[in-house]
Structure 1
Amino acid sequence: MSGHKEYRRELRNYAIGLAAALLLTGVAFATVAFDWAPFTGTMIVVYGLGLVQIIVHFRFFLHIDLEKSARDDLQLILFSTLITLLMVGGTVVILFNLYHRMQ
């Protein structure tokens, strides 16, 4: 019987995650489509909702939270994100430098 309860709890978590992801995506889309705020406000709202979306995906779909057993996975994801940001940021700096030298 506990397997059935575990399955229902897991299914409920996926449903909550899906609903939250759809809601966040819909609000971001509506903010841009209906011009609810000036450009700067719209960008802040969209970026903020994007960060919340990342947290929702980590929690409900990737099952990464702040428990002791999941911290290794979280550290791996954060380190991978850092390396990716450094590579992308370095590439952007180099490209802007080359762009300004060509003018």
Structure 2
Amino acid sequence: MNTDTHAAGAHDHHHGDSHAHGTFSTYMLGFVLSVVLTAIPFWLVMSGALPSKQITALVIMAFAVVQIVVHMIYFLHMNTTSENGWSMMALIFTIVMVVIALSGSLWVMNHLNSNMMPIHQMTGMK
């Protein structure tokens, strides 16, 4: 058997990855940012540092959005240039689907709540 035949049948394991994956330092930076972005909201809830529950919930949601961005950049390596923009299109599609599902669920729950029979009318029904 010729060695050229074996070399001609070899597979290319690179699969066209032109963008760089993260280094150890970028993964560690992403990890540290994730820990900080988790610890701060935990402390806010446990200490009751903010005056109302609504403000606390809004601050926690803001931290969650920032943490999603950190995960997308440092762990998923998403940017507008990777895969000719298809990863960004998939992200936009996912966001649209999540917004539709969440808003639809909230609308249905609110509609069901407004159509529920008051508790004082249910006591006489037997």
Scaled by the length of structure 1, the TM-score of the pair is: 0.80
Residue of structure 2 equivalent to 1:61: 75
- Larger-Rg structure: 2
Q: Which amino acid aligns with 2:38?
A: T
Distance in 2 between residues matched to 1:36 and 1:99, nearest whole Å: 32
Distance in 1 between residues matched to 2:113 and 2:58, nearest whole Å: 28
Distance in 1 between residues matched to 2:56 and 2:110, nearest whole Å: 26
Once the two structures are superposed, the pairs formed by residues 75-94 of structure 1 within 5 Å of their partners are: 75-94=89-108
| Deviation of 1:86 (Å) | 0.3
Q: Mind listing any 5+ residue stretches in structure 2 that lack a counterpart?
A: 1-19, 118-126
Does the 8 Å contact 1:64/1:73 carry over to 2? yes
| Deviation of 1:84 (Å) | 2.1
Residue of structure 1 equivalent to 2:43: 30
Q: 1:68 to 1:31 in 2, by over 3 A?
A: same
Residue of structure 2 equivalent to 1:3: none
Higher mean alpha-carbon deviation, 68-77 vs 30-39, is at 68-77
Quote the sequence identity (%): 22
Q: 1:23 to 1:70 in 2, by over 3 A?
A: farther
Structure having the higher helix fraction is: 1
Scaled by the length of structure 2, the TM-score of the pair is: 0.67
